Structure formats: C-alpha cells, structure tokens
Amino acid sequence: MATESQLEIYRIVLGKRTFKEIVREKNNIPTEEEMTDENLFTLLFQNILSKLTQNAAWTSDRTKLGLALFSNDGEDVNRILSNHSGHFVIEGYIDGGYYDKLRTIAQTNNVATRERLGRDKMVTDRYYIYLYCPIDAKVGIMFLEKKKGLNIHTAVDLFITEVFKTPRYAVKIERFVPQSIINEYKDEGVVDSFTFTDAITTSVIDGQGIELEEKRYGVTIKITLPEDERPEFDVVQQMLQWLGNGAISLGNSVMHLSEFGKKKGSLQKEEKKYSFEVGDDLKIKPMIPIDDELQDEDNSILRRDEIKTMCDEVLAQIMEEVYPAN
C-alpha cells in the first residue's frame, strides 16, 4: 500500500450564527435580498475556491504549511474540489505541505543530479476533504484525510476558521469522535500496543569530554502487550493511567510517559488493526481506517467516488448525534 490513510472528523462550531448568516455577511448580501439556499452555498464554495486558486498559495506562518489546488494535466479546479449545493457538501482534494525548509531532491538511481529547494518552495501531497455545512445550522462537519507521517489538519483548521470568522464572531474547529465509532472500537477489539513519541532536551558531555552542552533527542517508546494478556478496549483508560506514571531517564532529564506529546495505540479486531490517538487528558480518540481498496496507489491519493461514498455513509451514521432532534 502506497499510503496508510485514515479519516479524522472535526466539528466546525460557529457559535451564535448560522452558515447562511455568515455567508450573507461575508459577501455583503442584505437579509432582505432573496437568495436560494443552494445559491448561498455556492457562494460559500466560491469563497473557498478563490482562496485556494490564487497565484500565491494560502500559507500560515504559525504552522509553516501551505494549501492550494494544483491543476494537473488540464484539470478543472471545480472537479478537484466540487460543490454539491443540494446536499450542502463540498468535497474533493486539497494540496498541502510544508514550506520554509531547505531541501534537496534527487533521483534514486542518480543522486549526482540533484536540485536544491529554497525556503519559498512548498512540497505537497494531495489530501481528501469533505465539508458538510447545512446552511441553517450553526455546526458543520469536516472529514479530513490523514496520511502516515503527514498531517495538514492544523493548517486546514486555520484556513476554515478564516473562511467563516467575522469581526464579531469567532469560529472553533474541534476534533470530534462520534460515540457510534467508539462503540465499534469497543466491540470485541483488543489492545495490541501503545506508542509514545516526543523530544527530550538534556545535558551531555561535549565532544572534548570537558563541558556539558544541551542537546535535543527524538524519543519513541513502543509498548507491545503479550498476546495472551491483551485487554479489551473498555479497560484502556485504566491502563493508560498506569502506563502514564512510567518515566524515561535521558542524561539528567526525566520525562513521564503521560507528558509525551504524541500518544497512540493500536487495536486489533479479527485480522485488522486500528489506530487511536490519546489526548493530553488521556481520553481516547479513535481514527477511522480506510480500506486498501480505496487507495489509488499509482497516484498516492484516495479513490474519489469510493471515499465520498464512505463519508456519505459515516455522515448518515452520526447525524443524530451531531444534530439531535429538538
């Protein structure tokens, strides 16, 4: 498999305003001017498209991540990212990656020929995104692809916030794990392993063996549980509390596992493995795995029709939880 992608779900929380009110305000459309919901939603789509199709990429100095829509081989940008106004859905691909890094690229079979990439160059991957923004609601849903070792959600969070925020009202993007998906994890799954990753700064003797100097080391600790002692998902919380008290000593620095910035776990159910993240509060945040059949290995992207169908189905599954009936 070319990429190991997973799907993460986020809630777009507007606060006191609806999407309809935000679109009208951002486009200076008075409330008395009649306009269909579909046309208002199309305006929202055009606002997003406009930000992603400028000559300059959308960038964030906070994350050093850029976003754009690259039109390859005569692609129409409206087909890379598409508007389904009748369903209040915008879905498709978005190109994103880091900039402000010095890099060198070369062919694997001829490293003598290489090119130096400056800080103004952005190296991107293509991600799948699905936005559901019902025009009369104050909460929307975003599905975003996460690739193994690559994640653009911080930039996308800032971008979506910029799309919807107004001078008077803020927007909040929050990770959302539906209870129905947590229940699927609980159903007969057993915990396979935990991985803790962070960087530790400590003092070490310099190369001359004379003075102490500070150095920063990347540290990853993986704890694999014996096959005959793997617990069910229900007891993971207790196990994390117990593991979190463990510590690693490096030089003169000591760091507890609960303090590590990235905490992940692996759950095994039948022949499949599922990943879940663990928050700073040691709360479990399952991720939605994407089957191999949905991966387009030749182009390192997800198959468009199949992943849209999957998002449609998950959205239908979580609708009651996100939008409870009054």
Q: What is the largest CA-CA distance in the chain?
A: 78
Q: Flag whether 59 is in a domain.
A: yes
Alpha helices in 139-207 (DSSP H): 153-164, 179-186
Q: Flag whether 1 is in a domain.
A: no
- Token readout for 154 is 């911080």
pLDDT in the model for residue 134: 97
Residue 106 shares a structural domain with residue 19 = yes
Q: Flag whether 260 is in a domain.
A: yes
Q: Flag whether 86 is in a domain.
A: yes
- Write out pLDDT tens, residues 215-248: 788 888 888 877 776 656 556 666 777 776 777 8
Residue 159 shares a structural domain with residue 226 = no
Residue 104 shares a structural domain with residue 214 = no
Residue 42 shares a structural domain with residue 150 = yes
Residue 170 shares a structural domain with residue 78 = yes
Residue 47 shares a structural domain with residue 153 = yes
Q: How does DSSP assign 105-156, residue by residue?
A: EEETTEEEEEEEE-TT--EEEEEEEEEE--TT-SEEEEEEEEBTTB--HHHH
Residue 15 shares a structural domain with residue 97 = yes
Residue 107 shares a structural domain with residue 143 = yes
Report CA torsion sign: 281, 284, 290, 292.
positive
pLDDT in the model for residue 174: 92
Q: Flag whether 107 is in a domain.
A: yes
Residue 85 shares a structural domain with residue 217 = no
Report CA torsion sign: 5, 91, 166, 56.
positive
Weakly modelled stretches of the chain, pLDDT under 70:
1-4, 184-189, 204-212, 229-238, 244, 269-275, 279-286, 326
> pTM for the whole thing?
0.76
Q: Flag whether 45 is in a domain.
A: yes
Tally of structural domains, the chain = 2
Torsion region of 74: left, alpha or beta (phi above 0 gives left; psi -120 to 50 gives alpha): left
Residue 85 shares a structural domain with residue 167 = yes
- Write out pLDDT tens, residues 178-214: 887 777 666 656 777 888 888 888 876 665 656 667 7
* Eight-class DSSP state of 87: G
pLDDT in the model for residue 36: 95
pLDDT in the model for residue 1: 38
pLDDT in the model for residue 68: 92
Residue 168 shares a structural domain with residue 114 = yes
d(C-alpha 19, C-alpha 45), whole Å: 12
Residue 146 shares a structural domain with residue 252 = no
pLDDT in the model for residue 2: 42
304: containing domain: 6-176+290-322
